[in-house]
Structure formats: C-alpha cells, structure tokens
Amino acid sequence: MALANPASPIFDSIIRVAPQLVAVVAALLALATYRKNAKTKRAEWLSALHGKFFESTSYKRVRSILDYEPPELATLRESVTNGDYNELAEQLVDYLNFFEFIASLWKLGQLDIEEVAMLFEYYLNNLATHKFITDFIATYGFDNLKQLLASIESRRKVVQS
C-alpha cells in the first residue's frame, strides 16, 4: 500500500481548506457562547427589574391600592384629578415613572413585548382600567407608557382571538 503523495492535488486541497473549516467551526462556537452569555445576562437583567418592582417597598403601596381598591383609591383619584400634591400622588408618579422606564426599554428594543407582558401585563392592564390614571399619563408626558399600554392591549386582543 502506497502512502499518499504529499504533493498530490487532494492533499493540497485539504491543507488549504482545513484552516478555513477550523475558522468556521471556531466562529460558530464563539457565536453559540456569545448567545448563551447574552441570554444569561438578559435573565439577570429581567430578574433585577422583577426585584425592583416586586421585592422592594417602593411601589408596594400604589400597587396595593390599584389592586384592591381600598378607600385610599378615592383619595388618590381626587388628588390626581385636582392636581393636588401629596405623598400618595407622588408615589403614583414614581410608579408611573417605573413603567415609563420599562416602556422606554421596550421602544429601544431592549425588551420585547412578550418579556414585558410576562413580568408586568397584569399591572399595566390594571393601570389602563383607571381613567384618572390614563388621563394623567396622557397629560403629563408619559408617551412611551401610553404606547406600551396600547401595545399590551392590542396583544391581549390578539391572544384572546
């Protein structure tokens, strides 16, 4: 049995193609690693948003008022409608600013509508059920939040049909 001639055309072709194949495989492995790391970072980032909203006490009072509609809801509605400044109205503004931030991330393509919905759909829909809040959003420049609420509503209609 004769050994392959190192000068043969097939051997030359293999020698030329091998580095290119190695480069393609390395690039594919690098891409897979990047995507895995990006998904991990995204999950950490979503976890931080979740923690900021659900685990901190910053938004708990307003979230509770809008969820359970205690007598404080009437006080909040009156304050917002009359333009009165008080601690409760200020907490609502902080709450809306959080969602304006989420809406900004969505508009920038940093969050997709499914991610927003998974984490916050209930609370966004809850905001939309209170006319005094949607009026406030429209009046005081929460433009990204206004668009996000409309998108969540459209998504809900599509999912239901």
1 lies in a domain? no
pLDDT tens readout for residues 62-118: 999 999 999 999 999 999 999 998 999 999 999 999 999 999 999 999 999 999 999
pTM: 0.80
28 lies in a domain? no
DSSP secondary structure letters along 75-103: HHHHHHHHT---HHHHHHHHHHHHHHHHH
4 lies in a domain? no
User: Domain total for the chain?
Assistant: 1
CB within 8 Å of 73: residues ≥ 6 apart = 65, 66
**Amino acid letter, residue 75:** T
Strand, helix or coil for residue 6: coil
Residue with tokens 């049995």: 1
53 lies in a domain? yes
Residue-number span of the structural domain to which 128 is assigned: 44-160
